[in-house]
Amino acid sequence: MRPTLLLMLLFSIQLSSWSQDSNYLKKTDTLPHHIPSRATKRSALIPGWGQAYNKQYWKIPLVYALLAVPASTYVYNTDMYNKTKFAYDARFKETMGDVSDIPQIDPTLKNLSLGSLQSYRNIFRKDKDYSIMWFILAWGINVVDATVSGHLKEFDVSNNLSLRIEPYSQPLLKQSGLSLQLHLKKKNSAK
């Protein structure tokens, strides 16, 4: 009796079970899917590549402008740091009696004292370090933008979104209240 019952149970489960439709899988597998992690990786490698993957080409000049500001300030601060460092070293040698490097000092720095040159040198070194930090931060913003845009790429923003407030009642538990129902329609990927 038990083997027969077990056999009937397995047979009924087999009849009521279902598998994925192979035609559906074939249709959806051929469509290119947008993968947000690809946008993240591409944008981390080359700035703007993630935005291009997301087809937001208008953001690419903004990304490069955002990266150009700290890059240009880094170049300026490095140049000025090297000039003030050389001028400081030359003025320090001058206090020891060696005046051979004084004519090579930049004309804008010639009239500054040893203390002023040291202060300017430290300021340009600090600003150079800040430029590196801002460049890394701008690169990170580029990656975050590509990631967020990649995730929102297939987000449905049509007029088919609705939020309904409906009364809610459960007589068995003697409960009543309001329910919020958010109806989302998934974008049809097989257009």
pLDDT along the chain (191 residues), means of 10: 61 48 49 83 95 94 96 97 95 90 90 93 97 97 95 75 76 82 61 46
Q: What is the pLDDT of residue 135?
A: 97
- The CB-side HSE value for 106 (13 A sphere, CA atoms) comes to 15
Q: What is the pLDDT of residue 47?
A: 95
Give, in order, the Cα–Cα distances in Å from 28 to each of 2, 20, 155, 180.
44, 12, 18, 32
Q: What is the pLDDT of residue 191?
A: 46
d(CA 112, CA 105) in angstroms, rounded, equals 11
Cβ atoms < 10 Å from Cβ of 105: 21
The alpha-helical segments, DSSP class H, found in the chain are 2-16, 22-30, 36-45, 49-53, 59-96, 114-152
Phi, psi angle pair for 170, to nearest 5°:
-130, 100
